[in-house]
């Protein structure tokens, strides 16, 4: 059974929620990632991933890595 878009979104960001980040903080982080990807035309996106959370506690940095891994596992939805 296919999961809903809301369930997929929740699954992707759950590590960040579990690490104690508020929804607004998560939205800001994801926005910064998307903005970086757009302005660099994808050239600097991978390098920017750890920099986006470099000033955060270790549990948030670990959760961010898990979130990125989950994003990569998502299949495009039509």
End-to-end CA distance of the chain: 15
The pTM (predicted TM-score) of the whole model is 0.82
CB 52 within 8 Å of CB 29: yes
CB atoms within 10 A of CB 42: 10
Interval 6-51: pLDDT, tens: 888 899 999 999 999 999 999 999 999 888 888 888 777 778 889 8
**pLDDT reported for residue 6:** 87
pLDDT at 1 over 50: no
């Amino acid at each position: 059974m296919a999961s809903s878009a809301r369930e997929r979104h929740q699954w992707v960001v759950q590590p960040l929620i579990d690490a104690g980040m508020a929804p607004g903080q998560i939205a800001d982080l994801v926005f910064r990632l998307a903005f970086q990807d757009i302005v660099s035309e994808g050239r600097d996106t991978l390098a920017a991933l750890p920099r986006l959370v470099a000033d955060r506690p270790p549990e948030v940095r670990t959760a961010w890595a898990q979130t990125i891994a989950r994003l990569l596992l998502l299949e495009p939805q039509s």
